[in-house]
Amino acid sequence: MHAYTTSRIALPSHAAQPSQPAAFDTAPLQPVSFFPAAAEIYAQGEKAGAFYQVEFGAVRVYRLLADGRRQISAFHLAGETFGFEAGTTHHFFAEAISATGVRVFRFAAGADMSHQLLPLALKGLTRAQEHLLVLGRQNAIERVAAFLVDMAERQGGLRQVELPMSRMDIGDYLGLTIETVSRVFTRLKDKGVIRLLNLRSIEIVKHDALQNMSE
């Protein structure tokens, strides 16, 4: 049980940029809010009433236990949508991982968003349930492999994968400590499965091997 502490470096700058005319969308574009690294996008207990699309950067969504243990339930990268929740208050925290731009879609009171939200909610449900299998039944190397395969797919399936989050974030997503995450990275590197280009980016050398490990 590790204690989790965060230094809240800066508050989000809610200064919305001037809404530009929609170039591709049919609906007028929502303004983009900017959040510096570690800024809170919403907090547990806050009133909900919007959903969010990542323009650039990355977001972590998590819950805390009373003693500080943290479980990140999802990361959201550019283009992905998050923040819709049951009921009227948030059950989770959402924070920018790095400098992040987020388009906020507020629901008008009484507006019916079912059609937009249902596919997103179902997608999120499937993702969460697949992650349950990883946390419940896979060991450390399988968890990291599954994480890397997932990150690679979400970045277009390229060999080089960017990891915007820290080892602690990865650990809190996979239910592991940072030491174990680090050791598994080293093992995968020594096996020639991946190369560590720098702290925040890796190259997948043996994609099949990684894929097999994650199953």
Partner DNA sequence: CGAACCTTTGAAGGGCTTCAATACTTGTGG
Partner DNA sequence: CCACAAGTATTGAAGCCCTTCAAAGGTTCG
Q: Which residues bind a copy of itself (CB under 8 A)?
A: 63, 65-66, 69-71, 73-74, 84-87, 91-92, 112, 114-115, 117-119, 121-126, 128-133, 135-138, 172-175, 215
- By CB under 7 A, residue 183 contacts DNA: yes
Partner in contact with 129, chosen from DNA, a copy of itself, none, beta carbon below 5 to 8 Å by kind: a copy of itself
- Contact of residue 194 among a copy of itself, DNA, none (CB under 5-8 Å per partner type): none
Angle value at C-alpha 131, between 92 and 176, nearest 5 degrees = 80
Find the shortest distance in angstroms from Cβ 65 to DNA.
Answer: 12
Q: Is 114 helix (H, G, I), strand (E, B) or coil?
A: helix
- Look at residue 64 and give its three-state secondary structure: strand
**Range in contact with DNA (rule: CB under 7 A) among 41-49, 86-94, 114-122, 139-147:** 139-147
Strands 50-56 and 81-82, bridge-based pairing: antiparallel
User: Between 147 and 176, how does the x/- string for binding to DNA read (CB under 7 A)?
Assistant: -------------------xxx------xx
Residue 43 binding result from DNA, a copy of itself, none, given CB thresholds of 5 to 8 Å by partner type = none
97 binds, among DNA, a copy of itself, none (CB under 5 to 8 A by kind): none
First to last CA, the chain: 28
Nearest to 167 by CA among 176, 159, 158: 176
Q: Is 198 exposed, middle or buried (0-12, 13-18, 19+ CB in 10 A)?
A: exposed
**Least distance CB 84 / DNA (angstroms):** 29
- Binning the chain into helix, strand and coil, the percentages to the nearest 5 are 30, 25, 40
Give the span between the Cα atoms of 92 and 44, in whole angstroms: 5
- The binding site for DNA (CB under 7 A) comprises 1-2, 7, 139-141, 166-168, 175-183, 185-186, 196, 198-199
